[in-house]
Amino acid sequence: MSSRIEIEITSRTDSEEFNWRALGAREPKGTIKGSLLPSGVEIGDSFRVEADFHIDGIEILRVVPKKDVRKDPETLEIFGTKNEDFGVTTQLVKKNRSKQGKKRKPNDRKKDFSNRKKSQSKQGRPSGDGEKKKIRRTGAPNRGKRLKAKRSHRNAFVTTLPELHKPLANELLRGGIPSLRKSMKKMALPEGFDTEILQYAEKVNTQLRTAEWHDKADAVLQSAKEIDLRDFRSVVAAGGQWARSEELSSVQSQLEISLRERLELEHGRWLTEIEKAISDGKSVRALNLSSHPPKPGTLLPEHIMSALVNLANTSLDGETSSHRWSVVIQAVAYSPVRLKVVPIGIPSKPTKDLLSVIKKNADRIPDIAALFPKELDQ
């Protein structure tokens, strides 16, 4: 695919060729056939040309003709219709004011609309024990700050490439090797030339991805105590593929140490939050927190496990509403105490929504589901 560049004639090799360089720069540079240039060309003349960029150099295809410079200002002549009858009339109308003599503010319409919408939603909302409410899970862990890496190492690598190879690097950054293959299909390349380009592109792509991982690793180390654990783990896992040099192996070791320290810190916070939720009587929050340990597979200490089971049992009794039952059951089903919870009572008239939640999670809470055999069969 050809591109347009500005060149400057620097010298003459023989009667048929001239040397050139990019206008205002040392590189890129090359030779151009004299047959492509206008007659009377001199050293220092500049031209806009179309060129093909190859790994072994740049081939000038043609010189783009210069646009004629207009010396006189452009003018526009307007011809009238010679029609003296004007088709536009105006009429002054008095402003319409309300009876109280006050102007209606622009925001009044928005307020009226919002109030009307609220009243309609209240009228259409069902009430009573059978109302359908959305179950909102509370106690989800704080994800932390998402990873936003700079591009220092990546940009530094791109600047080390020859000027001719930078478009190749930019193409790889946009879409990788698949994008490069699509672009190459549109080019008229010599036979076998595409294989050489792809082999070189694979090397460049590996170095680009390594530099990008280095940027992410630096960002994680700078915010090791705040970064999202998912991003933290992702960067550490990717280090096995990209941290191959001695320098990057050292960075990978620092990441692994920081991750272990961060997990210990988060584990302590996790247990503290669960204990506080239990002491405050917040059963749903405590159950949801217990299902999101910082390190997957971590078991709760026995004293916290017992306290959490007791709190869940007392939250499920015959006096509790069906909606509250649904919320607690949803939290119990994904907690580590799901097989130990035994309700101290059940609702006399469970709603369809409650039965739907129990039936949906029956395989996770079989003992609780067994308390509603007739209802679930229906």
Q: Is residue 166 assigned to a domain? A: yes
**166 and 237 share one domain:** yes
pLDDT of 198 over the 70 cut: yes
pLDDT of 131 over the 50 cut: no
Mean pLDDT of the chain: 82
**181 and 240 share one domain:** yes
Average pLDDT in the 326-338 region?
94
Of 22, 43, 63, which closes a domain?
63
**256 and 317 share one domain:** no
**217 and 303 share one domain:** no
Predicted confidence at residue 58, as pLDDT, reads 78
**239 and 319 share one domain:** no
Q: Is residue 347 assigned to a domain? A: yes
Region of poorest pLDDT, from 18-22, 168-172, 174-178: 18-22
Backbone phi and psi for residue 234, each to the nearest 5 degrees, phi listed first: -60, -45
pLDDT of 274 over the 90 cut: yes
**241 and 157 share one domain:** yes
| Model pTM score | 0.55
**187 and 239 share one domain:** yes
pLDDT tier at 94, thresholds 50, 70, 90: low
CB neighbour burial string for 345-362, b if at least 16 within 10 angstroms, e if fewer: ebbeebbebbbebbeebe
pLDDT of 301 over the 90 cut: yes
**181 and 246 share one domain:** yes
Q: Is residue 112 assigned to a domain? A: no
Q: Is residue 286 assigned to a domain? A: no
CATH of the domain at 27: 2.40.50
What is the 3 state secondary structure string of the chain?
CCEEEEEEEEEECCCCEEEEEECCCCCCEEEEEHHHCCCCCCCCCEEEEEEEEECCEEEEEEECCCCCCCCCCCCCCCCCCCCCCCCCCCCCCCCCCCCCCCCCCHHHHHHHHHHHHHHHHHHCCCCCCCCCCCCCCCCCCCCCECCCCCCHHHHHHHHHCCHHHHHHHHHHHHHHHHHHHHHHHCCCCCCCHHHHHHHHHHHHHHHHHHHHHHHHHHHHHHCCCCECHHHHHHHHHHHHHHCCCHHHHHHHHHHHHHHHHHHHHHHHHHHHHHHHHHHCCCHHHHHHHHCCCCCCCCCCCHHHHHHHHHHHHHHCCCCCCHHHHHHHHHHHHCCCCCCCCCCCCCCCCCCHHHHHHHHHCCCCCHHHHCCCHHHHHC
Q: Is residue 283 assigned to a domain? A: no
Structural domain for 345, as ranges:
299-377
**248 and 164 share one domain:** yes
pLDDT tier at 79, thresholds 50, 70, 90: low
**235 and 318 share one domain:** no
Q: Is residue 188 assigned to a domain? A: yes
Predicted confidence at residue 123, as pLDDT, reads 47
Predicted confidence at residue 215, as pLDDT, reads 95
Q: Cα(325)–Cα(285) distance, rounded to whole angstroms?
A: 14
Q: Cα(287)–Cα(314) distance, rounded to whole angstroms?
A: 13
Q: How many separate domains does the chain show?
A: 3
Q: What percent of the chain has pLDDT over 90?
A: 45
Strands 3-12 and 57-63: unpaired
Predicted confidence at residue 89, as pLDDT, reads 55
Q: Tell me the Cα Rg of the chain.
A: 37
pLDDT tier at 192, thresholds 50, 70, 90: confident
Predicted confidence at residue 186, as pLDDT, reads 83
Token pair listed for 158: 């791109």
**315 and 240 share one domain:** no
Region of poorest pLDDT, from 22-36, 58-72, 122-136, 219-233: 122-136
Q: Is residue 247 assigned to a domain? A: yes
Predicted confidence at residue 128, as pLDDT, reads 43
In this predicted model, which residue has the larger pLDDT, 191 or 75? 191
Of 63, 90, 112, which closes a domain?
63
Q: Cα(127)–Cα(107) distance, rounded to whole angstroms?
A: 32
pLDDT of 158 over the 90 cut: yes
Q: Is residue 193 assigned to a domain? A: yes
Q: Is the distance from CB of 64 to CB of 51 less than 8 angstroms?
A: no
Region of poorest pLDDT, from 136-150, 212-226, 323-337: 136-150
Of 262, 287, 318, which closes a domain?
262
pLDDT of 3 over the 90 cut: no
**234 and 315 share one domain:** no
Average pLDDT in the 88-107 region?
55
Average pLDDT in the 216-238 region?
92
Predicted confidence at residue 20, as pLDDT, reads 83
